[in-house]
Amino acid sequence: MKFCTITALILGSALAADLSLFFEARMDVAPAIRRLLPRPFVDPTALIHAAAERYKVPEAFVRSIVAAESNFNPSAISPKGAIGLMQLMPETARELGADAAVPEENVDAGARYLRFLMTRYQKYRNGMTRAIAAYNAGPGVVDRFRGVPPYPETRQYVARVITFLKRYQRG
């Protein structure tokens, strides 16, 4: 396996993509190994657009979460273990039937989770703010505090997402 990775690095990304396709096509290659193979270029914009449309979540909202969570880096891993563009915790991704390390599944599951949170908090006048806080701190915490919890990290996160949201809504 190391030989293939080193060969791909030496010979360039075209070979890497060919090797990736070859190994991904093999059914006997474990998913854990497939994740280690070079992946083709990921277009976060297309993934965000498709997931937002699928779950009827404003595209600017999904884009804002991705910007705040990973700065559009599909390989991002947080110190707490959150993975990918939408920084899903592996447990949350599993609950949503997704592999957080696969960008398409990560964004799809993240947008589905945002739809869940938007629906959960739609009856409140600050429903969007609660949904953002719940994405960061969890819905249980938001419910316990009846709104954005007093955690500095969560309050800064909400402000950052709202700043991105205003920017992306303008176009």
Catalytic residue check, 69? yes
Q: How confident is the model at residue 41 (pLDDT cuts 50, 70, 90)?
A: confident
Q: Whole-prediction pTM value? A: 0.77
Location of each CATH 1.10.530.10 domain in the chain: 44-170
Per-residue pLDDT tens digits for 128-143: 999 999 999 999 999 9
Query: Which of the following is catalytic: 24, 53, 59, 69?
Result: 69
Is it true that domain 44-170 has CATH number 1.20.1050.10?
A: no
* pLDDT (tens digit per residue) in 73-96: 999 999 999 999 999 999 999 999
User: What DSSP state is assigned to residue 83?
Assistant: B
Residue 39 has pLDDT above 60, yes or no: yes
